[in-house]
Structure 1
Amino acid sequence: MATWLTADDTELQVLWPDVPMDDAVANLFLSAAKDACLAYAPELIPTGYAPVTLTWPTGYTLRLTREGDVITGVLTSSGGAASTVIRPLPATFLPAGTVRVLEYNSPDAPTAVLTINDVPALGGIGASYSGQIAAGETITAQWVGDPVPGDGIPDSWVLAQALQARNLYNSAKASPGGDMDGSGYGITAFPLDWQVQQLLRPRRAVGVIA
């Protein structure tokens, strides 16, 4: 599975060799192409993220949920003292990027902190907390999650987006008069050609019995 292209992606130069050098212009055409592809492509079944609850010996719990790229963790206090136990984060709830020290303070008790960080002893990323808050009170944290296997869009859709963006761009260059409001700006509509349609909704051969 893959993700939609932006001007920052290195593979864009391969898929669209004459891409405009201006990133803002390239992103404009890529965004328009993405919308056109989504309008024609079949609906994707979104990846499901089953909630997970981590529990500490003191009774603290951290409930993890995920909606798209956004992960929400709700740490609920049992009222007990802080624990030094570190819980590993499940793969679907790992933070994206290389920044690993994420701290969230309780607004009611600033000494209570939920931390998401690299833990060498675990060989991965873990969640821990320090301090103490009243029983039943919570700390809510949010972070952007890493892509997970099976998430994203089919690889063929990425190629379809690049082809459609290139077609839109070439059409605009060939017909610069696509100005609808008199402002001097505009894009001539360019329908999806058969190659782009085939990438989004492949047509399979049907056998005929003679």
Structure 2
Amino acid sequence: MAQWLTAEDADIEDVLAYLWTDAPVEEPKVLGIYLGAAKAACIAYAPELPEGTEGIPDEWVLAQAMQARNAYNAGGAPVGGGDASGGAYGIATYPLDWHVKQLLRPQRAVGGIF
């Protein structure tokens, strides 16, 4: 079982090198804000773990990193420059995209339709 990511983790740069390559690791306070907000969003959506469980599933750590990255990227997305070409619009991210939700609460396959 894993632990939630924090900006104070000794190996945070190594971990995020794989999960969030453009993370603001040079600004620990900024990184901490994004990781903390992502953790709160993940906890709000994830199911409760059985009592006495130590740590969290590895998938939740990945979900936290993905959610932090999504929130960080949403803050830098262009909002439009007034031109009609549509070239100034970025990709919108949502509070928890389906990838993050699937990591926190995997949907089970349902049998085929006959």
The two structures share one fold, judged by TM-score above 0.5? yes
Query: Residue 174 of structure 1: SS of its match in structure 2?
Result: coil
Count of aligned residue pairs for this structure pair: 96
5+ residue gaps, structure 1, are 48-149, 177-188
Which AA in structure 1 matches 2:49? L
Deviation of 1:190 (Å): 4.2
- Could you tell me which residue of structure 2 aligns to residue 50 of structure 1? none
Query: Which whole-Å deviations, capped at 9, do the CAs of 1:6-43 have from their partners, x for residues lacking one?
Result: 12323122111100120110010000000000000001
State yes or no: 1:158 paired with 2:78: no
- Could you tell me which residue of structure 1 aligns to residue 6 of structure 2? 6
The 4+ residue runs of structure 1 with deviation greater than 4 A are none
The two structures have a TM-score, normalised by structure 1, of 0.43
CA gap of 1:208–1:34, structure 2 versus 1, over 3 A, is same
The percentage of aligned residue pairs carrying the same residue is: 59
Higher strand share: 1
The two structures have a TM-score, normalised by structure 2, of 0.76
- Could you tell me which residue of structure 1 aligns to residue 95 of structure 2? 191
User: Quick one: distance in 2 between partners of 1:12 and 1:46?
Assistant: 29
Whether the 8 Å CA contact 1:5–1:12 is kept in 2: the answer is no
| RMSD (Å) for aligned C-alpha atoms | 1.9
- Could you tell me which residue of structure 1 aligns to residue 39 of structure 2? 34
User: Quick one: distance in 2 between partners of 1:29 and 1:172?
Assistant: 11
User: Quick one: distance in 1 between partners of 2:50 and 2:34?
Assistant: 26
Q: State which structure, 1 or 2, has the greater radius of gyration over its C-alpha atoms.
A: 1
Q: Which has the higher contact order (CA 8 A, sep 6+)?
A: 2
